[in-house]
Structure 1
Amino acid sequence: MRRILIVGAGQSGLQLALGLQQHGYDVTLMTSRTAEEIRGGRVMSTQCMFHGSLQTERELGINFWESDAPLIEGLGVSVAGPDGSRPVDWVGRLRGYAQSVDQRLKMAGWLEEFAARGGQVVVHGVTVSDLDWFARSYDLVLVSAGKGELVSMFQRDASRSPYDAPQRALAVTYVHGLGPRPEHDFLAVRCNLVPGVGELFIMPTLTLSGPADILFWEGVPGGPLDVFTDIKDPGEHLELTLDLMRTYLPWEWERTHGVELTDAGGTLAGRYPPTVRRPVAELPSGGLVLGVADVVVANDPITGQGSNNAAKCAASYLASILEHGDRPFDREFMERAFDRYWDYARHVTAWTNAMLAPPPPHVLELFGAANTCQDIADRVANGFDTPSDFQNFFLDPAGCADYLAELAAAGRLTPPGGDAARPDAQPEGSDPDAGLPGPRGSRQQAEDAAHR
């Protein structure tokens, strides 16, 4: 029986450990915290997993919270204008629902399940010198702990890492009591963009105390949202979150009058540079270890892909290991396994890095056109589940122009100053007689907001 060591008990490490365990591998999992310590700790992320990522959990039978977590059926984008208006405001419907489960709940549950199924759990911090010894004792060592000394072993890939500093200051708050968005009667992730300032994401989730919502600010470093670093009190963190919503996004702030923190551990703040690293690290003795998920591909959370990438990486590595059979897990195998995962992750990285920069004209036009064209809103929303599709239109000005031209030719796109070609093209809750602008007019409004 092949012996495999996984260091780190997050989405990728635990999912991979449970998958390998089901296929008869002797798996040891090392983690710095017990399940109870995870449950009793601070929130770790803003995870929203889309259909394809959820499917990787279903295939392993570890989707334990699917019947309890809120069903997220849409994704909406709003852009704040300088006068408090919303020149861009639409919601797309997802083909398959998304879900968010507090990682304190999920990781603790998975860790206990892995142990109950006979897996060996070692609760202890790990150093590079520890790995040097472990690499001689196991057939394969994987590092899925995305922070600290172990990550520094993996060399930054400058050719795939355009940023060398954090591009956003992050502030997360879990709350109960948030009111609904009146524009639609289904649950949706809401992406609110404040040009030149940052973004607020709001998503339904399941936490330790039941259904809740996540308020997630991403602020441009040094800007007015970059104010959470020294805040230690959870109540003060919530108050500041709400004050910023009142200032920049009054339509979202109106939903917050009854909110309260889910628990004392329901806040988080920090920042990190988006980085792609070389997948294989060489230890002092010459032994090799393979990096997993955030260790080797750490994107900014602006596109909500962290847990999705982790699930896809775990599924990809599991397939590579199973297909490899009894052959040695050498450098060639490790690089080939990463390349297989990178074929998916590269699309996420390109899209995420693009979202961190000011939007180019074709994206402004696309978002504006989505105001009155449900096809566009739906395609952008579903791109969060299939990021490779963004290469065809979102990241390609020519592809975007062709796409808009195809919609116009089919009568599914509102011409400048014209009426919607489809009865359902008006955003939900809008006045069909309000004279909403067409793509060009919407683009001009968005440009005005972006350059205020």
Structure 2
Amino acid sequence: MTTVGILGAGIAGLHLGLALRAADVDVTLYAERSMDELAGGPLLNTVAHHHPLLERERALGVHHWPAAEFGYRAHHHWIGGLRFTGRFTHPSCAVDHRIYLPRLAEDLAERGGRVEVRAVGPRELGGLARNHDLLVVASGRGPLSGLFPRRPEHSPHDAPRRLVCAGLYTGIAPAEPAAVTIGVAPGQGELLEIPLLSRHGPVTALLFENVPGGELAVLNELSPAADPALFRKTVLAKLHEHHPATAERVLDAFALTHPRDLLQGAVTPAVREDFRPLGGDKFALALGDAHVVVDPVMGQGANIASYSAAVVAREIAAETVFDELFCRRVARAREEVLLAASAWTNLVLDPPPWLDELWRGLARDPRRADEFTDNFDHPERQWRLLATRSRVRAFLNS
């Protein structure tokens, strides 16, 4: 029987493990920390799961949070004074990963996958590879962060383009209809307002994407634990000044749910090599954040990680030899979607002047706004529409 070792217990590693167990492949998942520690720890992200990911959950039997009950069906946009709404064909859903990941780890263990809490560094990879036919590295943080070299032709940034300040809040009246609100403050950054199911119940996630050195960068310097009143006051002031579409629905009860429900940091986008030889005809295959890291501004990270895991699982189940030829076939199979999501996200982080034409066109044409929104499910389609000024104009005039 084929045996696969997976390093990393995020959505990429867990979706891969579950898909492999469905194909009767032996799986050991190596987690950097226990699921109890993760569940009680600080906020991990504020990701939304789009329809293709939810369909994979259904196929894997882990769709525990039905989008019909917990999801939303639209994006409201506020971009430099322009307002428009785009609607999904199928709903998306956001669930706190401190709930989501431990539940999927339970599912994996119940289906015969082994979950082992173990820190693995580069020096341990060779020894670990002897226990498995293939190692899949799905952790892009910690000691394995530089394992796979960057591909400079697809990695234009060597530093973060945004400072991330993401938190869970109560006291914000929901948008009508239920939706993610995407606010763009030109020159200052973006705000994603996301209805999210948390351990506190339904809350609102505010994901500030702040330009370094800009007027909202102060949000990354304040601690709600050290001075909760100052933090709340500053968030409210910045909302009213730069993101009025959200500020107009803030209630007197507005508050961060808990100091641990805040994530402050930054992401350097990168596309890395697909695989690495470990010696002795063994290879490590990159997955998730170890392979492609995108800024969260377009909400693609978890979705492309799950997509990549599905591709890798399909290729493993169809193969018995996991050599360089196998690794190169995996790279070709998943490349279009992953590179498209990365390129689209980078375009938004450094918007060309003609991107304003897109926003104005979408505000005029609800059908195009719906298509643009639906393509959050399909980054390869989105990139074909947005890659150049000519493509944007053809999309708007089609």
**TM-score, normalised with respect to structure 2:** 0.94
| Matching of residue 117 in structure 1 with residue 111 in structure 2 | yes
For 1:32, the equivalent position in structure 2 comes to 32
Q: Offset of 1:34 from its aligned partner?
A: 1.6
Q: Offset of 1:286 from its aligned partner?
A: 7.3
Q: Offset of 1:70 from its aligned partner?
A: 2.1
Amino acid at match of 2:223: K
How far apart, in 2, do the equivalents of 1:285 and 1:148 lie? Answer: 25
Question: Cα deviation per residue 1:233-273 (whole Å; 9 max; x = unaligned)?
Answer: 34354443322112212331122222222333210011121
Residues 344 and 379, structure 2, Cα contact 8 Å, conserved in 1: yes
For 2:361, the equivalent position in structure 1 comes to 369
Q: Offset of 1:191 from its aligned partner?
A: 0.7
Residues 142 and 291, structure 1, Cα contact 8 Å, conserved in 2: yes
* Of 346, 353, 357, the match for 2:346: 353
| Matching of residue 333 in structure 1 with residue 326 in structure 2 | yes
For 1:159, the equivalent position in structure 2 comes to 153
| Matching of residue 203 in structure 1 with residue 194 in structure 2 | yes
Q: Offset of 1:284 from its aligned partner?
A: 7.2
For 1:395, the equivalent position in structure 2 comes to 387
Larger Rg: 1
> What is the 5 A alignment of 1:24-103?
24-66=24-66, 70-80=70-80, 86=81, 88-103=82-97
How far apart, in 1, do the equivalents of 2:133 and 2:32 lie? Answer: 22
Residues 69 and 205, structure 1, Cα contact 8 Å, conserved in 2: no
Q: Offset of 1:281 from its aligned partner?
A: 2.4
SS of aligned partner of 2:215: coil
| Matching of residue 273 in structure 1 with residue 232 in structure 2 | no
Q: Offset of 1:67 from its aligned partner?
A: 5.8
Residues 69 and 100, structure 1, Cα contact 8 Å, conserved in 2: no
How far apart, in 2, do the equivalents of 1:15 and 1:47 lie? Answer: 15
Question: Cα deviation per residue 1:50-91 (whole Å; 9 max; x = unaligned)?
Answer: 1112111111111112268622100121113xxxxx2x1101
Question: Cα deviation per residue 1:314-373 (whole Å; 9 max; x = unaligned)?
Answer: 11111111122x2x2112212221221112111111111111113432x31221122232
* Of 382, 399, 404, the match for 2:396: 404
How far apart, in 1, do the equivalents of 2:304 and 2:36 lie? Answer: 26
Backbone CA RMSD of aligned residues: 1.8
For 2:2, the equivalent position in structure 1 comes to 2
How far apart, in 2, do the equivalents of 1:310 and 1:237 lie? Answer: 33
> Is the alpha carbon distance of 1:149 and 1:69 closer, same or farther for their aligned partners in structure 2, counting shifts above 3 Å?
farther
For 1:18, the equivalent position in structure 2 comes to 18
SS of aligned partner of 2:75: strand
* Of 218, 240, 250, the match for 1:256: 250
* Of 302, 307, 313, the match for 2:308: 313
For 1:420, the equivalent position in structure 2 comes to none
Q: Offset of 1:27 from its aligned partner?
A: 0.7
SS of aligned partner of 1:15: helix
Residues 165 and 219, structure 2, Cα contact 8 Å, conserved in 1: yes
For 2:180, the equivalent position in structure 1 comes to 189
SS of aligned partner of 2:21: helix
Spell out structure 1 runs of 4+ moving beyond 6 A. none
Q: Offset of 1:116 from its aligned partner?
A: 2.4
For 1:233, the equivalent position in structure 2 comes to 224
How far apart, in 2, do the equivalents of 1:398 and 1:108 lie? Answer: 46
Q: Offset of 1:149 from its aligned partner?
A: 1.5
Residues 169 and 225, structure 1, Cα contact 8 Å, conserved in 2: no
Amino acid at match of 2:394: D
> What is the 5 A alignment of 1:237-248?
237-248=231-242
Residues 282 and 322, structure 2, Cα contact 8 Å, conserved in 1: no
> What is the 5 A alignment of 1:123-134?
123-134=117-128
How far apart, in 2, do the equivalents of 1:264 and 1:68 lie? Answer: 30
| Matching of residue 344 in structure 1 with residue 337 in structure 2 | yes
> Is the alpha carbon distance of 1:135 and 1:338 closer, same or farther for their aligned partners in structure 2, counting shifts above 3 Å?
same
Runs of 5+ in structure 1 lacking a partner? 81-85, 407-452
SS of aligned partner of 1:216: strand
How far apart, in 2, do the equivalents of 1:32 and 1:201 lie? Answer: 29
Amino acid at match of 1:202: E
> Is the alpha carbon distance of 1:403 and 1:341 closer, same or farther for their aligned partners in structure 2, counting shifts above 3 Å?
closer
SS of aligned partner of 1:196: coil
**TM-score, normalised with respect to structure 1:** 0.83
How far apart, in 2, do the equivalents of 1:314 and 1:344 lie? Answer: 12
Count of residues in correspondence between the two structures:
394
Question: Cα deviation per residue 1:99-142 (whole Å; 9 max; x = unaligned)?
Answer: 01110000011112212223211112111122120111111111
How far apart, in 2, do the equivalents of 1:306 and 1:401 lie? Answer: 27
Amino acid at match of 1:171: C
How far apart, in 1, do the equivalents of 2:350 and 2:9 lie? Answer: 32
Runs of 5+ in structure 2 lacking a partner? none
How far apart, in 2, do the equivalents of 1:268 and 1:22 lie? Answer: 34
Residues 35 and 112, structure 1, Cα contact 8 Å, conserved in 2: no
Residues 172 and 267, structure 1, Cα contact 8 Å, conserved in 2: yes
How far apart, in 1, do the equivalents of 2:283 and 2:234 lie? Answer: 46
